[in-house]
Structure 1
Amino acid sequence: MRTLSLVFFLLSLTFCGKDKQEFAIQIALPSDPAQLDPLFCTDLTCQKLARFLHQGLFQLEKNTYISPWIQNSEKRESPTEEILVVQLRSTAPPIGDIHFSFTRLIQESYPRKEDYRFLKSVQLLSPSALEFRFQKGTSESEWKEKFSLPFASIIGKKEWEQNTLKTYGDYKLIEWKKNEYINMVSQNKESKNLPESIRFLILPQSTTSLFLYRKSKLDAFKLSDFLLSIPEATSQFTLTKKGRSVQYVTINQTNPCFDIHFRTALNLSIPREMIINKLLENHADLTYGPIPIPYLEKLNLHLNENDITYNKEKAISELKLSKCYPHILTKEIDFRMRGDDENQTKGRAIRQALAEIGLNIKLRPMEKAPMYKENGEAKGDLTLLTWYSDYDSVWNFLDPVFHPDKIGNGGNRSFYQNQIIGSILNKPNRNLSDAKQVIEIVTQEKPWIFLWSIQENYLVSKDFLRYNELADYL
């Protein structure tokens, strides 16, 4: 039945050019967002859409946080708190909407709430002035960074109370048909570098996207690894993004059998370089623990050597030292991943490597929503996941994915608990020395099977390339 529905969907797009005429650009997404409420924007699709829809008080431009809505700001002295008063420009959103959005950060429960514990209160001082009170010791760089993330985006209060979404980004949402499409139109009339309208088609399989691209009914989609060699993927029409992600396998820390010897065995069993070369066609980079090596190279941290290079014999030796050996060899280990072709292919390669050291791995392809839901409930033994950075900071690869207070859907999907790391991540003024310590502890304790940093490759059309800024939004 699903195959029949797909056939009719493709036929309708093939013989009807109406959609392409109505929308300047059409972009494929592999799945629906869980929702578009910025407080709950934790999945990749929502993060991508947030760049089009949402805007906060600050935004990152050329390594500097700027605010187009703040006219001036003033710090005030207090022995117990950091106090900031901001005066808004006339071009800013209504002050009631800004106050409402920041009040939600304080009062509501959401996955990234720990990131905003430093924000103690926000008060209206006048029709154009707001007062923010922060935890004592909170640095300017920290609150500016956090205020620039999607979670701190401004939304319309009145519209929200009426169960609709008003946003202040470059685009506004005009229609969302679940599992089919999301339509947006521009709110930035001055920009000629962005299209007036965009339709996002929900297309889980890249082969479907390629079919529509060849029919000139799609302008951009993410290329699966097995499509990188198609004739259309020339340098002119392929956009590549590097160093924004880490692909990994969570090792469920709630299982007492998965001790350090077991986790070390798993890491030693993966022939990363061979998989990158043969399966990913060299479109991925190695990592040091949870950090892409190309990203680390610009930080100059001088990390301790921690070798998890493929070594089957050493992996078997470590496995024999694990707490539940030899019983672990007869236990069926549940290995979950998204059900699309690309993730299943990687899952099979990883399962084969784990089977070669004697483990009984059951591959379980799943739909996105139930997989994330159950992973957040600590179900499953191993789960193949990808972490995409929200912003350009080494801390984004460490917090929230290893914070002991952000387990499950908060980001720490392996349920890893280390209070030393928690205390470092909670420091109001963290530095690179702190980051080095966290990286080395995590890499030594191995709550993940560390894999690689995937390179994202997008096939785009001539129409897409007409808009100079659009590539930055992918």
Structure 2
Amino acid sequence: MGQPFPLLLVLLAACGSDAPAPTRLEYYLTADPPSLDPALSTDVQSGEMVALLYDNLVQFDVDARLQPGLATGWEVDSTGRRYTFHLRTGATFHDGAPIGAAEVRASMLRALAPDSRGGRQWPLLPLEGARAYAAGDAKTVKGIAVPDDTTIVFTLEEPLNIFPKFLAMPVAAVAPAPLPPGFRERPVGSGPWRFVSWSHDDALVFARNEEHWAGPPSEDTLRVRIIPEELTRGAEYEAGLLSVLEIPFGETRRWEQNVPDELQRRPALRDVFIALNTRRGPLGDVRVRRALNHAVDVETILKTVMAGRGVRAAGAIPPGIIGYDSTRAPFAWDTAAARRLLREAGYEKGFAVQLWRGKRSEQARIAQAVQQDLAAVGVRVEIVERDAPSVRATVRNGEADLYLGDWYADYPDPENFTYPLFHSGNHGTGGNYAFLSDSVLDAMIARARATPDEAEKERLSRESDARIHRLAPWIFLWFPADVWAAQSEVEGWRIPAVFTGQRWTGVRRSQ
């Protein structure tokens, strides 16, 4: 009977303590992230988690403005090829190891290593010697130099005006190299949130990093739940179990009526499209691709499925980005024109294709509407529904005919909607899901990337986008508008312009 007494004292002391109770924010993902390793981050889910766990040399704020991160400043020389970054002192990984220029270099070399090809390496490939290193043909990357512990110098193969924005992307987040034991399941970063646990397909838990160079987050814990089901997410939010919720397009009217004061709106830097695999059968003919664009009644789908939350797309560059052309007309819904183009291409009797999509409810409705519209011109569509990882693998391997997808801005620049999506060097994993190869377009994109003249960049980007529209590698759908709800007690949360821009550091609960 003597053992409980000390325990009783502990319990009484805890009850009488003035220490505040731990506070927790609740977020969610619609699928388990494939990886928490920056070198292997290729999707929005993993990219959002990388932004919590790690720091970059530079990073985007919620409005997609480039801000200092592990670097306090940078400059570029007159050639446009040499960038010098100056690192802050005192930054450490979560295990206490210091971060200097050598650690940044080692992290980037790991991301570029041949065994990291499953990741999205292209933001680092402009570095001099990076392609040879990534291919296993060189022992190091000539374009990364470390003159001292607080300076890192990048030399590019050719001028690239947006290179600093590339360094804010997940693949450029700084991770320990070599990786500590168990890193894949228990990652170590330097970001505002420390890793606590990862129950696959259930939840990730993060604790605030008290030692972060920018100061700790406002709340103690951030739990990120994995909730694929749309109805479940809505019910959890209404029960107060989620801090924020992206409003499904089909539910927009109900939420506007019920909780208008909790809603936020923001035009999204995002494309919604159907990629047409130009390597597969009839889809290699531009006349067929244009016919499919004419066959789909996009305006009706936008109104009925998406509650009008978007702007018709006549290209890939969205509003709010230089190079967007509001005067360019979208493909008109014209079934007669669609049939004529199919007849000219030798497909008067149509053909059969598969349309791959994920499990989101609005994707089901979009796919069904597209299936019906294409059937009207003789194109028989089999809809294939799979989970997100299966769809990604199939599309990136070039095994899907049509792919209903969306593209989130990694950084606010027209290049992000041209180079990864349509340059012939980015087939598959790089983002070119249509497997488009067009040497004229490649050259146009390259010139827009290189020029230091902003007006020239805008002109070249607009012309590139016009050519993309003419080549019709997608069925161009719309640029959506985001609507989110935030609980009334949640303060400081805003819809980010790019998916890595919300790090939850200034978000707090008022109760």
Give the alignment's TM-score, normalised by structure 2: 0.79
> Is residue 2:508 matched to residue 1:473?
no
Secondary structure (helix, strand or coil) at the match of 2:339 reads helix
> Is residue 2:29 matched to residue 1:25?
no
Match of 1:176 in 2: 198
Match of 2:55 in 1: 55
Match of 2:484 in 1: 458
Shift of 1:440: 1.1
Q: Write the deviation string for residues 187-226 of structure 1: whole angstroms up to 9, x where unpaired.
A: 2677687433111111111100112222222222222122
Match of 1:156 in 2: 176
Match of 2:14 in 1: none
Match of 1:411 in 2: 431
Q: Is the 8 A contact 1:414 1:447 kept in 2?
A: yes
| Equivalent in 442, 462, 467 of residue 436 of structure 1 | 462
Q: Is the 8 A contact 2:268 2:482 kept in 1?
A: no
Q: Counterpart amino acid of 1:222?
A: E
Moved segments of 4+, more than 6 Å: 74-77
Q: Is the 8 A contact 1:194 1:469 kept in 2?
A: no
Shift of 1:68: 4.3
1:250-399 matched pairs, under 5 angstroms: 250-258=275-283, 259-292=285-318, 294-295=319-320, 299=323, 305-326=328-349, 329=350, 331-399=351-419
Q: Is the 8 A contact 1:306 1:444 kept in 2?
A: no
Greater shift, 446-455 or 113-122, is seen at: 113-122
In 2 relative to 1, CA 302–363 (structure 1 residues): closer, same or farther, beyond 3 Å? closer
Q: Is the 8 A contact 2:121 2:171 kept in 1?
A: no
Supply the distance in 1 between the matched residues of 2:233 and 2:392 (Cα, whole angstroms).
24
Identity over aligned residues, as a percent?
A: 17
1:413-428 matched pairs, under 5 angstroms: 413-427=433-447
> Is residue 2:126 matched to residue 1:118?
yes
> Is residue 2:239 matched to residue 1:215?
yes
Structure 2, unaligned stretches of length 5 or more?
Answer: 1-20, 93-98, 129-142, 452-456, 504-511
Q: Is the 8 A contact 1:124 1:130 kept in 2?
A: yes
Structure 1, unaligned stretches of length 5 or more?
Answer: 1-20
Q: Is the 8 A contact 1:181 1:199 kept in 2?
A: yes
Give the alignment's TM-score, normalised by structure 1: 0.85
Q: Is the 8 A contact 1:24 1:197 kept in 2?
A: yes
Secondary structure (helix, strand or coil) at the match of 1:175 reads strand
Secondary structure (helix, strand or coil) at the match of 2:265 reads strand
In 2 relative to 1, CA 322–73 (structure 1 residues): closer, same or farther, beyond 3 Å? closer
Shift of 1:130: 3.0
In 2 relative to 1, CA 410–371 (structure 1 residues): closer, same or farther, beyond 3 Å? same
Q: Is the 8 A contact 2:356 2:386 kept in 1?
A: yes
Supply the distance in 2 between the matched residues of 1:470 and 1:249 (Cα, whole angstroms).
25
Secondary structure (helix, strand or coil) at the match of 1:144 reads helix
Greater shift, 336-345 or 43-52, is seen at: 43-52
Match of 2:262 in 1: 237
Q: Write the deviation string for residues 226-249 of structure 1: whole angstroms up to 9, x where unpaired.
A: 222335753321222313211100
Q: Is the 8 A contact 1:257 1:323 kept in 2?
A: no
Shift of 1:325: 3.4
Q: Is the 8 A contact 1:336 1:371 kept in 2?
A: yes
Q: Is the 8 A contact 1:195 1:467 kept in 2?
A: no
In 2 relative to 1, CA 154–395 (structure 1 residues): closer, same or farther, beyond 3 Å? same
Q: Counterpart amino acid of 2:359?
A: G
Q: Write the deviation string for residues 281-320 of structure 1: whole angstroms up to 9, x where unpaired.
A: 111211122233x336x657586x4551111222222222
Shift of 1:443: 0.2
Q: Counterpart amino acid of 2:492?
A: Y
Q: Is the 8 A contact 1:206 1:223 kept in 2?
A: no
Q: Is the 8 A contact 1:284 1:453 kept in 2?
A: yes
Greater shift, 188-197 or 214-223, is seen at: 188-197
Secondary structure (helix, strand or coil) at the match of 2:281 reads coil
In 2 relative to 1, CA 323–409 (structure 1 residues): closer, same or farther, beyond 3 Å? farther
Q: Is the 8 A contact 2:146 2:153 kept in 1?
A: yes
Q: Is the 8 A contact 2:37 2:50 kept in 1?
A: no
Supply the distance in 2 between the matched residues of 1:271 and 1:76 (Cα, whole angstroms).
50
Supply the distance in 2 between the matched residues of 1:114 and 1:192 (Cα, whole angstroms).
32
Q: Counterpart amino acid of 1:254?
A: R
In 2 relative to 1, CA 191–242 (structure 1 residues): closer, same or farther, beyond 3 Å? farther
1:90-129 matched pairs, under 5 angstroms: 90-93=89-92, 94-95=99-100, 96-108=102-114, 109-110=116-117, 111-120=119-128, 121-129=143-151
Q: Write the deviation string for residues 369-398 of structure 1: whole angstroms up to 9, x where unpaired.
A: 111101111112111011111111111111
